[in-house]
Amino acid sequence: MKKLLIISLLLLSVLACKKKGFSPEGPTDVRIRNISDLVFTEVIVSTSEKTEDVDTLGNIDAGGISAYSRFLKAYPKAEISAKINISGSLVKFSTGPVDYTYMQYIGQDKITYEVYISNLDKRELTISNIIPEEPLVLK
């Protein structure tokens, strides 16, 4: 009788243990809104530490917005670089490298990074806002 009780308690405890349901890391559809008054040329976006999460979005007009690009994972910060025409020559601007340690991923969502030129002399871009557009529906 004791063996039956111990086995049933053990079985009950094993069945009661469940993994918590976490939302998947991605994919995440990302686009860039240029909120500066200069054209961004050859925009490159890196949304995570994975080498697969780097994509070229092309050119974005002043006040314009790019098309969505799908990334396996995305975080609230991203490394974004673009070439900008300054006095007739293309100069590379960047948000700089990002340390993704301890950041919470965005998950299955469509988002927009709003980017502007924060320092013309230091060639810096800054993400001013992240706009969650809508949940990503995968079929």
Reported as a single tens digit per residue, the pLDDT across 110-137 is 999 999 999 999 999 999 999 999 988 8
Q: How many residues does the chain have?
A: 139
CA separation for the pair 136, 71 (Å, rounded): 12
pTM exceeds 0.75: yes
What pLDDT is attached to residue 20?
A: 44
pLDDT tens for 82-111 read 999 999 999 999 999 999 999 999 999 999
Ramachandran sector of residue 111 (left: φ over 0; alpha: ψ -120 to 50; beta: rest)? beta
Hey, what domains does the chain have and what are their CATH numbers?
Answer: 25-135 (2.60.40.2890)
Distance CA(100)–CA(91), nearest Å, equals: 26
Helices and strands, counts by H and E, the chain? 1, 8
